[in-house]
Amino acid sequence: MADPLTILNVLGPYREPREPAFSFDYVIQRPHWPTPQGVRVKVALEEELEYLKMKILNVPGGSPGQQLRVNRILISAIADQKLHIANDDGRFEERRDVMIDPFTGQYSHLFLRLESWMNEERDRLRKEIQDQVGL
């Protein structure tokens, strides 16, 4: 387990212009760092968001507004978890700006941990969607 981190601020989601992904910008701090660090976490639309939404949760259609709200809830949850997985994987050992790319390609080994989290959090995410969106 890597050093604990504190999330000071989160901005986003932003649509990535040249790839099918959304991203969040995090400002994180560790107890031994003199200043916070910026981290961008990308969530792939097909491989991560749609995988969780359709294969794990099987979320029904809904109106366009409901779908936007569902996507926002799920993208945010995925990005938060990816930040913690990357921290546990030692990606923040050196203090510099970091980009956490989608867990595909060279980072596909980390997708197994994300998928495991998706399955563990399935009921909680379904309840959150039901409570906030009504689906």
pLDDT band at 1 (very low <50, low <70, confident <90, very high): low
Contact 69, 13 (CB under 8 A): no
pLDDT at 134: 84
pLDDT in tens, 11-62: 999 999 999 999 999 999 988 888 898 999 999 999 999 999 999 998 877 8
For the stretch 74-79, contacts whose Cβ atoms lie closer than 8 Å and that sit 24 or more positions apart, written own/partner, are 74/49, 74/125, 75/13, 75/22, 75/24, 75/43, 75/49, 76/10, 76/13, 76/24, 77/121, 77/125, 78/43, 78/48, 78/49, 78/52, 78/114, 79/12, 79/13, 79/22, 79/23, 79/24, 79/41, 79/43
pLDDT in tens, 66-120: 999 999 999 999 999 999 999 998 887 776 668 999 999 898 999 999 999 999 9
Whole-model pTM: value is: 0.92
